[in-house]
Amino acid sequence: MDFIIDNMKETDWQQVSAIYLAGIKTGIATFQNDIPTWEDWNRGHNTNCRFVARSGDKIVGWVAISPVSSRCVYAGVAEVSIYIGEEYKGMGVGTALLNNLIDQSEKEGYWTLQSGIIKENIPSRQLHKKCGFREIGYRERVGKMENGKWHDVILVEHRSKNIGN
């Protein structure tokens, strides 16, 4: 499959949110229950380092970062969100998006990218590891889903070799 990595635009939200909703429905991609509005999502994510993978006019995956803290000492640390359309998993889309994010985030001055991944989400854990993230710990029974099921979260991070050394 041919695709390009492009900056995410507001006009992409319909397709981006559909991919996000499919992730929510898996029960292991996020603790989010509903799709936020574009305005709410936009407020919660950094305006830089938002990318989509496009195949023609179809978005097949997306990645974005959000701040981990409002404290200035954490200005170079961001939380990663990445979602791939179900029918495009295993085709290199996630690897391309995450590697692009790492490269672009370093150009923007980020020294640490981190994620909290639901323990059962093995494909996401493998993707992050493939792209140079390392597991640094876990949080036991930290999130409870609407169905009452508790989940552990694996903490992973990617430290820049170029920024913050």
Q: What is the pLDDT along the chain (165 residues), one digit of tens a residue?
A: 899 999 999 999 999 999 999 999 988 888 888 999 999 999 999 999 999 999 999 999 999 999 998 888 888 999 999 999 999 999 999 999 999 999 999 999 999 999 999 999 999 999 999 999 999 999 999 888 877 889 999 999 999 988 766
User: What's 10's domain CATH number?
Assistant: 3.40.630.30
- Residue 164 resides in a domain: no
- Residue 122 resides in a domain: yes
Torsion region of 151: left, alpha or beta (phi above 0 gives left; psi -120 to 50 gives alpha): beta
Q: How many domains does the chain have?
A: 1
Q: Which domain holds residue 8?
A: 4-159
Instruction: Could you list the beta-strand ranges (E) of 49-163.
Output: 51-55, 58-67, 77-84, 112-118, 134-144, 150-159
- Residue 165 resides in a domain: no
